[in-house]
Amino acid sequence: MSRTLEENLVGRRVLITGAARGIGAGLARRLHERGARVGLLGLEPELLEQTATTCGRAPWRRCDTRDRRAVEDSFDYLTDRLGGLDVVVANAGVTPPAHIVEGDPEVMRYAIEVNVLGTYHTLRAAGPYIGHRNGYALVVASSTTFSPLRGVHGATRGGAEELGEALRDEMKSLGTRVGIARLGEIDTDRTLIDFDGVAVPPPRGSALTRTSSITVAVDALERAIAGRKNRIYAPSRVPGTDSVRMLALRATEMTRSIELRAHAAVPTRGRVEGEGAA
C-alpha cells in the first residue's frame, strides 16, 4: 500500500531558507502541521520568531545566505537542534527590477549574490547532512526565466536552477535527490516590494498582473518534499508562459540527460545573527 502525503512527511527534518515570510513561512507552517520538524533561516528575527512559534517553537536563526560562514554556522546549529537533516529548501531570493541599461548595477550585484551565491552556499552547507538515501534538496527557481519583463530575475534564478542540476549529478550516487521548483508569479511581498521597501507596480502586460496565491506554491512544494520529486511547476500552467516555451524547456532537459549519459560512457585516461528557539 502506498504511503499518504502526511505519512511521507511525519518526522522529516527540514531546513528552510527565506522562512521569515511568504512562501518560506507558509511552507514551514504546512510541514509542521503534517508532523515534520522544521528549522528556519531568514533575515527578520521578529518574523522568524513568530513563524517558529506557530511551528511548535521550532529552532531558528537569523542568517544572510550571501555570507558563507554564517550559512555554515547556521546549518551546524540547526541540524544539531533537529538531530540531523533530511531536506533543505533553498527558498531565499529577491526580485530585482528588470532594467539593464537603465538599471542599477548594484541591484544586479545584489540579486546575483542572493539568488545565485546564496543558493550555492545553502546547497554546499547542506550537502554533508543530506548525503543519504532519504536526503532531498529543493531549489526554488522561477518560470520567469522566459519573461523579458523580469530578465534580471530570470537570469539569477536560472543560475540557481543550474546549481540544482549540478548537485543532482554530484549526489546521485549517495541516494540524495534534488528537486527544482519553477514558480510563476506568486502573490508575496517579494513580488510587490522593491529593495528599498517601496511598492512597485508590475510592468504593463506582465504576468505579475495575474499572480497566484501563496497556497498554490506551498501545495506544490509540500507534494515535492513528500514525493522527493525532480520537477515542480506551480501553477501547473504558468501565466504569461506559452506552451511552446515550456516544451522547449522540457526538450532542453531531455538533451541534458542524453549528453550526461553519453559523457559518462566515454572512457577517460587517468583521472588525473540572533538565534533561538521561539
Coil, strand or helix at 84: coil
Q: What percent of the chain has pLDDT over 90?
A: 53
The tally of domains found in the chain comes to: 1
Closest CA to 225 of 117, 71, 89, 75: 89
Residue 177 placed within a domain: yes
pLDDT tens figures, 108-144? 888 899 999 999 999 999 999 999 999 999 999 865 4
> Residue 47 maps to which CATH number?
3.40.50.720
What's the grid cell of residue 150? 523580469
Residue 270 placed within a domain: no
What integer best gives the mean pLDDT of the chain? Answer: 80
pLDDT band at 146 (very low <50, low <70, confident <90, very high): very low
pLDDT at 274: 54
Closest CA to 154 of 229, 86, 213, 241: 241
Residue 274 placed within a domain: no
Residue 277 placed within a domain: no
Residue 269 placed within a domain: no
Cα–Cα distance list, 93 to 134, 223, 275 (Å): 26, 21, 21
Residue 44 belongs to what domain range?
A: 5-263
pTM of the predicted structure, to 2 decimals: 0.78
Residue 275 placed within a domain: no
Rg of the chain over Cα atoms, rounded to whole angstroms, equals 18
Residue 34 placed within a domain: yes
Residue 250 placed within a domain: yes
pLDDT at 141: 85
The Cα 160–Cα 180 span in angstroms is 9
